[in-house]
Amino acid sequence: MSKPNHLDPLPASQNLAGFSERDGHWFIEELSLTQLAEQFGTPLYVYSKNALVTAFTAYEQACLNVDGKRRARIFFAVKANSNLAVMNCFKELGAGFDLVSGGELERALLIGADPASLVFAGVGKSAAEIRLALRVGVKCLNVESIAELEQINHIAAELSCRAPISLRVNPDVDAQTHPYISTGLKDNKFGIAYHEILKTYREAALLSHLDVVGIDCHIGSQITSTAPYLDALDKVLDLVTQLKKGGIGLRHLDLGGGLGIDYGNESPPATTEFTNALLDRIAERGFANLEILLEPGRSLVGNAGALLTRVEYIKLGASKNFCIVDAAMNDLLRPALYSAYHAIVALQKNGVEAQIYDVVGPVCESGDWLGKDRSLAIEANDYLAILSTGAYGFTMASNYNTRPRPAEVMVDGNQAYIIRERETITELLSKERLLPQKK
């Protein structure tokens, strides 16, 4: 891909592994995006297998020392993209999984993930979810409150087992990201306050059905510099030292996920640079014996996916032009929820003059937009690709406005595979029941 030929920022080509523009046509690996849109219909999520592999391999290589010793292990954060085929690709590459619900746990079990490669996080685990996690024998439950510790202890006693637990510390650092995806400040609902964590560990150590194995933190998402991570890491390592002095020796340290990606305007550190900064600091401070877990989500899948959509109507106005497409906020929520920017490219060159448009969906909400003030040379029935939608795209999709969720396709070289069929309206309605008729 050469220089972008339009005004709106595109992710740098090296960050768009899997996608390329050649002679004005867009490809995912060896296949034309236009042809995929025609073949499978729109809206359509497409993912590049090669991009998933490339992103994972970058992490893996950084996790290995020069002498080939493993310094950290990758647990893919499933909530970023929970499609079974995506999870299975990562499983085959050796990933573990970071789970936040019983449903995600069922997914991991369905693809045959080793329970010892699963960590179960989340602020509100239900008793049923805890029971399932303990029955299958997950590696660790990441705990966020004393009430939850007591609940897990109680259920472990019922099951006559010891629950492996880690406490999620809220290190109170500013990840400088969107407030909705910042999780490590003291006012967030996440984690246990830094000043309460030692006390909470002492209480956990007293509960007879808990096995205190680790400590974890996750300071936010779409973080584009290493500095907040190093701040959090230093604070967490201080805790590990204090705990050890108090007789609580931990086996692992889980640093969460959150590394940002290039949506067009960002230049986050490269995976290796980021991972090395953390792992080198851990070694420098003499903690090389701790097992290290990383839980990347977005940075493994974000740039590997695109949402393809078709232009329904062009609506020109005195103050705004609208490009109304067949994808909407129910298919891709990030713009409506976070005012997130996704690059949008036209998939054909048709000689039409470029104009500035708001790209909007058909849903009855003013918040239903996918891009604002975009320069696009398009007409009705053209296809667009909304880039970098592999993370928090399909997984946040809903059926709002009774819209079936899109199909998902994975491309591997010159082959396209349906990895989730498009939903039908019949399927959506089949769960609903009328009240009985009054006689």
Ligand X SMILES: *Cc1c(COP(=O)(O)O)cnc(C)c1O
Residues marked active site are found at 364
Distance between first and last Cα of the chain: 69
Nearer to ligand X, 180 or 313 (CB): 180
Only segment of 17-25, 251-259, 324-332, 371-379 that touches ligand X (CB under 6 A): 251-259
Binding of ligand X by 77 (CB under 6 A): yes
In this chain, which residue has its C-beta nearest to ligand X?
A: 297
Tell me the per-residue interface mask from 379 to 398 with ligand X, x by CB under 6 A, - otherwise. ------------x-------
Binding of ligand X by 104 (CB under 6 A): no
Only segment of 132-140, 144-152, 253-261, 370-378 that touches ligand X (CB under 6 A): 253-261
Binding of ligand X by 333 (CB under 6 A): no
In angstroms, what is the minimal distance from the CB of 238 to ligand X?
A: 21
Binding of ligand X by 74 (CB under 6 A): no
Only segment of 58-66, 243-251, 295-303, 339-347 that touches ligand X (CB under 6 A): 295-303
In angstroms, what is the minimal distance from the CB of 228 to ligand X?
A: 13
Report the sign of the C-alpha dihedral through residues 345, 351, 355, 357, in that order.
Answer: negative
Among 295, 326, 368, 408, binds ligand X (CB under 6 A): 295
Nearer to ligand X, 323 or 333 (CB): 333
Binding of ligand X by 258 (CB under 6 A): yes
> Applying CB under 6 A, what is the total number of residues that bind ligand X?
18
Residues binding ligand X (CB under 6 A): 77, 79-80, 98, 100, 121, 218, 221, 256-259, 295-299, 391
